[in-house]
Structure formats: structure tokens, C-alpha cells
Copies of this chain bind each other. A is one copy, B any other.
Amino acid sequence: MRSKRDELETIEAQPAPSALPSSLSSATVGSLTERELIERIQERLPPSPDWMPVGIGDDAAVVEPERNRLEVLTVDALVEGIHFDRAFTPAEAIGHRALAVNLSDLAAMGASPRLALVSLALPATLPCREFERLVSGLTSLATRYKVHVAGGNLTRSPGPLMVDITVVGTVKRRQVLTRASARPGDDVYVTGTLGAAAAGLQMLRAGSGALNGAAGPSPAESCVERYLRPEPRVRVGVLLGRNRAASACIDLSDGLADGVQQIAHASGVGMIVDAAALPVDKTATRWFESRGEDPIERAVVSGDDYELLFTVRPRDRARLNAAARHREPSITRVGVCTAERAVLLRRVVGERTADAPFPRGYTHFR
């Protein structure tokens, strides 16, 4: 964890705001030194494991590879104004999501997460309290999934807050899941429910009034929670790879419409997805209907669900049942792969079924 000399360093004449308890402090990160910021990260981290002889604090981290396993690496960034709005996204949720989206990518490969590198670009005006909450959201999730923060980078941003995370996981060679191995006849499954995160985002944008009225956590709050703090499907992904139940897998960070196209394209198959089978979140359904929107349409084009979409050979259904023995998340069969290359959404219209090209994901900037 390092930063260039000209970043996030203190103006010496200022009193050291870090001497204050952070709850009393109105300091911004621009008034702290790099070392102070790094210390605030380090104090939330567990001790370095044996396999990491050099962690945060040198030019780079040094780690011992796991024996007899392949490594899986991915990077994903969250950018203020593109992926989140600080007006309604708590800093702690920003830290959580930034790591969760990466763990979701590992899950889609069947890999167990191992370590992360965290690169932060911080506006100098960011309150230290917000910085600490962001770090706390990130390190809490890291601790739950035994992900060790091996290092990172701190820099000032002249504009948006950015959180860029690289994660490294491991998987046995024969247990790697890719997008490219679906075959005609494979069944198509999805974990959990769809559309909740998109509804949650709309609710947040609509303002807090939409969430009030009920005592205790309301159904609406569950959608908001799904948007703010997605739970990466690490356990399911690892199980699907480990017992080789899935033939292909992808995460739904970019939505179901993107996911089906990606698997179909990479595997050279088509798909028919049954609209009636799609596990659209019930609260999200009511929310979309109240706005005059088609819940199916919204649920398939919306991203941010971080569920897994995967295919299973019919003969491997018993393996899937073994991998899916846990109550959470639910697993739903939604379609089948076809030799015909088209990717279709099948709906019941009156008494007939009608197949239409699968809706495309968003094609504009948010």
C-alpha cells in the first residue's frame, strides 16, 4: 500500500486531525498523510497469513502460490457518478460493493477468493469518516470470505471517488468454470432472484419517502439492500465447479440479457428462456408494476443482481442437486440451450407460446 509523494500528504502546518477520535473529527482525507490513511486500513485487517511473507508496506506484496491449483485474477472498478451516487449510497456500501463485484467474478469461474489489491482515488474533500466507512465495508466482506488485502495504492482524485479492486483466487484445473462449454440440450439455471437490485436503485433514486410506512425492515428495504450490498455467490460457484455440475457459468453483473448472450456466443449455442420461469423478485415485480413497467423486461435487462447464470448437462442433474442442497440461494431452471444459434425469450400470449429475440441490455450510458 503506497502512494506517490505528492498524494494525500499533509500540509505540515495543519494540526494533526488524526489525533482526534474520528467520530469527533470533521477532517478530510486531504489533511491526512498517506501513512495515516494506510494505518486506518491496516488496523482493520487481520494479521498477514503465513503464505504472505511480505504484505502492505513494501514496493509490492509477496505471496506463495497454492500448490496444485490454478490462479484466477480479475479487476473491477466502481466510479462515482457512473456506478454509484454518493447522495444515496453509504460509503460502507461502496466498499462492500467494490469487493463484492470482484468476488462475483471469481464465483463465476468456480474459484475460491484468496487476496485483493485495493486502489483508491480519493477526492481531497472526502471526510475521513466516510473513508473509514468505505474501508470498513470492504474489510468486513473481505474478512467474511477470508480475502487478504495484500496491498494497494492511494491517490488523490481531482474528481470522482474511484475504487478499483483486483482479486486473486484459486481453483483446481478440472474445476474451472468458463462461459464457453455449454452444449445444445444443457439446461439453463439462475441463482436467487432477479430485478431486486434494479428496483432498489429506483427506490433510492425516488427518495426515502418510498421506503417509509412500515415498522422494521420492509420488503422495499430488501430491494435496496440487494442493490447496496450484493452477496457474491461464492459458495455456489465453488460447489458448481468442485463437483463439475455446471458446463458453463457467468455472473449477472451486467444483467440476464447480457449473460445469456455471452454464454451463447462463447459456447456457440442458442438458448430459449421461459419468461414465466424467471425468478423475478416479488417486491421488485410490484414496484415495477406500480410504475407501469413490465417486470420481466426490467428484470432481464437490469444489472447489479450478481447472481450466477449457468448451464447443466441433463445427465449431471444429480450433481446439481448435490451442489444446490443449501437453502440459500434458490436455484431455478429458466431455459435450455439449443443448436439453433438464436437466443430467445419465450412468453405465453393467450393460449400460444411466442418466442422473441431476447431483449438487449442497456445500450446507453447511465
A residues whose Cβ falls under 8 Å from a Cβ of B: 2, 4-7, 9-12, 30, 53-54, 57-66, 69-77, 79-83, 105-106, 108-109, 111, 115, 117-119, 121, 124, 150-153, 155-160, 162, 164, 166, 168-169, 171, 173, 176, 178-180, 249-251, 253-255, 258, 266, 303, 361-366
Contact = CB atoms under 8 A, between A and B. Distances in A.
B160 A157 contact: yes
A58 to B, nearest CB: 5
A255 to B, nearest CB: 6
A361 to B, nearest CB: 4
28 contacts: A5-B255, A5-B258, A5-B303, A6-B82, A7-B82, A9-B361, A9-B365, A12-B363, A53-B176, A54-B109, A54-B178, A57-B266, A59-B249, A60-B169, A65-B65, A73-B115, A75-B151, A77-B164, A79-B155, A82-B156, A119-B119, A121-B162, A156-B365, A157-B160, A158-B159, A159-B160, A162-B162, A164-B164
A4 B160 contact: no
From DSSP, what is the main secondary structure of chain A's interface residues?
mixed
Number of chain copies forming the complex: 2
Given A59-B250, A109-B60, A363 B73 contact: no
Given A70-B64, A364-B11, A365-B7, A152 B75 contact: yes
In the A-B complex, list the 10 residue pairs whose CB atoms are closest, starting with the nearest: A159-B159, A65-B65, A60-B74, A81-B158, A5-B254, A59-B108, A5-B361, A6-B366, A166-B166, A59-B105
Contacts of A79: 121, 155-158
A54 to B, nearest CB: 6
A235 to B, nearest CB: 16
Given A79-B158, A124-B365, A178-B54, A303 B59 contact: no
A366 to B, nearest CB: 4
A155 B251 CA distance: 18
Nearest to A54: B178
A70 B63 contact: yes
Contact of A70 (B62, B115, B362): B62
Given A9-B362, A81-B158, A109 B58 contact: yes
B366 A82 contact: no
B5 A178 contact: no
Nearest to A82: B156
Contacts of A164: 75, 77, 119, 153, 164
A179 B59 contact: yes
Given A62-B176, A64-B71, 5 more contacts: A59-B105, A59-B250, A61-B74, A74-B117, A153-B164
A264 to B, nearest CB: 14
Given A81-B158, A119-B77, A361-B5, A108 B60 contact: yes
Contacts of A365: 6-7, 9, 30, 124, 156
Nearest to A57: B266
Contacts of A158: 79-82, 159-160
